[in-house]
Structure 1
């Protein structure tokens, strides 16, 4: 039987929001120490809020991984096309400014 949590759902959501606001600047250990919470408890709350499995994603099946990789590939292809378009616009603008300077 699971022991009921001594932390309220409101407290958990506030702690998760605080962690997200300070992510990149402070560690789980720092934030947890300020709030008198175990760092692993905080890490579990954040992981659960993000919908990731506890083992870091290793429990996904091959189909899930393939779908994730295909989505990532599509995102990268789109980003590359946008990058090429931006580069072409900048190349044309530089050529235009060079013509005006002559």
Structure 2
């Protein structure tokens, strides 16, 4: 396969299979935050959405120049906070636009695309 064919296949996979799941997961977490009268945490001092759960979850914001980074963080069984995913927004024509998604995979975990 050519580089362009691989790129096209990856982009199509993400559009068809990954993005709907990502959006549903984010919506679920954001709904939990909203239902618990929460606000986005400061990433340097994370506040859990539901403090009584075994696996804590939080959404935190960090501004960096003209970027906003929205991170989904977890803390399983008091092992410390880890960033699972970061959505990066940049200003384009005076509006914030999602420009990248950073997945924070643990050692040995691989991301792959079916069919490649």
TM-score band (shorter)?
A: under 0.3
TM-score (norm 1): 0.26
TM-score (norm 2): 0.23
Bigger Rg over Cα = 1
Q: Which has the higher helix share?
A: 1
Q: Which has the higher strand share?
A: 2
